[in-house]
Amino acid sequence: MSTYVAPIKITNGELSEEFIDKFDTFLFDCDGVLWLGTHLLPSITETLSLLESKGKQLIFVTNNSTKSRKAYTHKFADFGITVKEEQIFTSGYASAIYVRDFLKLQPGKDKVWIFGQSGIREELGLMGYETLGCDDPRLNEKFDAKTSPFLKDGLDNDVKCVVAGLDNDINYHRLAITLQYLQQDGVAFVGTNVDSTFPQKGLILPGAGSMIESAAFAANKRPAYCGKPNMNMLNTIISAFNLNKQKCCMVGDRLNTDIRFGVEGGLGGTLLVLTGIETEERAVTKTDEYPNPKYYINKLGDLYEFTH
């Protein structure tokens, strides 16, 4: 067990500058850190500009699989922030990489059933995979085993994998067909991310993990999770940018995914923001349940506000 070191709270300009100067690369979670749903958090644009003006590399690592990387560039643009597609890593993209590089499914031959949204379908599509399920409108119909078009003609034997993630349209039909595929021999089970909930302005909502675990419980089958804190995702990022881990800092709002990702991945630093899921009490409490951050701050925008 490692010795407990109390996290440092960044509360002024001097601490902010000292923190920023320590790192060359910042990996940011998005929901709860940069924004809450469609609401950009205070001084985010200024903070990102400040870091870029100091030559820092910015990478955005989100467990949200509902949007593709391309769709995320549009979301950033809507907030007036310019981000390139290659700077973004989503759990949907990480899952697609897992299907291609670890499961080695063959595009054009092997198919994927998606229990989730279009972000997963788009990332798999870019790699050449045919997908079923997802946002197929027929899944919105009330489930009847006798009439469901997905059961009437039999399951598709070319489906070799189920990828499951957050689904805002979750219903019994989607869950029932997903379960049928998970019960087939040789069908792999991939989960985008383990987050049980996610924050929106004033609300805590059910996350991907709550939906994936529902399917896992029904099928009695464990998924291979691909988003944070999975090390496959971090290794892909480190390798893509040839990063020095010691000069990287993970910035997030959740201890068991974001901060665990940084700590277990051996990054030089972790910064917890208190604009999402966590409280100051949890940030500083020593426990075996989750790792503590190296630093924490009330909101990311304070890095700019404390220095200007």
Residues 105 and 218 in one domain: yes
Average pLDDT, the chain: 96
Residues 107 and 25 in one domain: no
Residues 109 and 206 in one domain: yes
Domain harbouring 195, CATH code? 3.40.50.1000
Q: Is 158 annotated as a binding residue?
A: no
Extended strands (E) in 165-246: 188-191, 197-200, 203-206, 224-225
Q: What is the pLDDT of residue 2?
A: 62
Q: Which positions are annotated as active-site residues?
A: 29, 31
Which H or E run includes 212?
A: helix 208-219
How many distinct structural domains can be found in the chain? 2
Q: Is 54 annotated as a binding residue?
A: no
pLDDT in tens, 39-73: 999 999 999 999 999 999 999 999 999 999 999 99
Give 3-state DSSP helix, strand, coil % of the chain, rounded to 5. Answer: 40, 20, 40
What does the alpha-carbon distance between residue 192 and residue 135 come to, in Å, rounded to a whole number?
16
Residues 115 and 146 in one domain: yes
- Indicate if the pLDDT at residue 1 is higher than 60: no
Q: What is the pLDDT of residue 200?
A: 78
Q: Is 31 annotated as a binding residue?
A: yes
What does the alpha-carbon distance between residue 303 and residue 285 come to, in Å, rounded to a whole number?
23
Residues 99 and 177 in one domain: yes
pLDDT in tens, 251-265: 999 999 999 999 999
Q: Does residue 215 contact residue 269 with C-beta atoms inside 8 Å? A: no
Name the domain boundary from 168, 197, 225: 225
The answer to the question of residue 25 being in a domain is yes
What does the alpha-carbon distance between residue 69 and residue 206 come to, in Å, rounded to a whole number?
22
Name the domain boundary from 191, 225, 259: 225
Name the domain boundary from 225, 245, 274: 225
Contacts of 61 (CB under 8 A, 6+ apart): 27, 28, 29, 89, 228, 233, 237, 250, 261
Closest CA to 243 of 85, 62, 57, 68: 57
For residue 176, which amino acid is it? Answer: A
Residues 220 and 233 in one domain: no
Tell me which residue range forms the domain holding 153.
Answer: 92-225
CA distances from 70 to 4, 67, 129, 247 (A): 40, 8, 18, 27
Q: Is 228 annotated as a binding residue?
A: yes
Share of the chain above pLDDT 90, in %: 93
Residues 245 and 121 in one domain: no
